[in-house]
């Protein structure tokens, strides 16, 4: 929420910060969903893959989800960080 009389530059920075916060959290949540799907595939809860292939496929998908949950938000946070003045 912006206050009346706020300068447009600060308002645009605030809007960008809110959007970036939302994007970072969406990456985290989608990464957790992918991670859970990978674990479900590893435990053979889905019928489309079974045996050793399920464990390998689930591990790969879980790794992608872990990467998206932990690494991607840090990379984006560094890219979007405000430089020191």
- Percent of the chain exceeding pLDDT 90 equals 59
- Tokens 């970036």 belong to residue: 20
Q: Is 47 contained in some domain?
A: yes
> Strand, coil or helix: what is 81?
coil
Model confidence over 30-60: pLDDT tens digits?
999 999 999 999 998 888 888 889 999 999 9
Top-confidence residue, 43 or 84: 43
Q: Find out whether 67 and 31 touch, Cβ atoms under 8 Å.
A: yes
Q: Is 39 contained in some domain?
A: yes
Q: Is 71 contained in some domain?
A: yes
Q: Which domain holds residue 64?
A: 28-80
Give the H/E segment covering residue 72.
Answer: helix 52-80
What's the whole-model pTM score?
A: 0.80
Domain count, the chain: 1
């Amino acid at each position: 929420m912006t206050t009346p009389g706020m300068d447009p530059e600060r308002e645009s920075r605030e809007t960008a910060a809110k959007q970036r916060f939302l994007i970072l959290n969406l990456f985290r949540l989608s990464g957790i969903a992918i991670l859970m799907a990978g674990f479900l595939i590893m435990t053979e809860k889905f019928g489309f893959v079974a045996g050793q292939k399920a464990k390998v496929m689930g591990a790969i998908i879980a790794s992608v989800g872990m990467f998206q949950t932990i690494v991607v938000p840090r990379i984006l946070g560094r890219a979007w960080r405000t430089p020191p003045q």
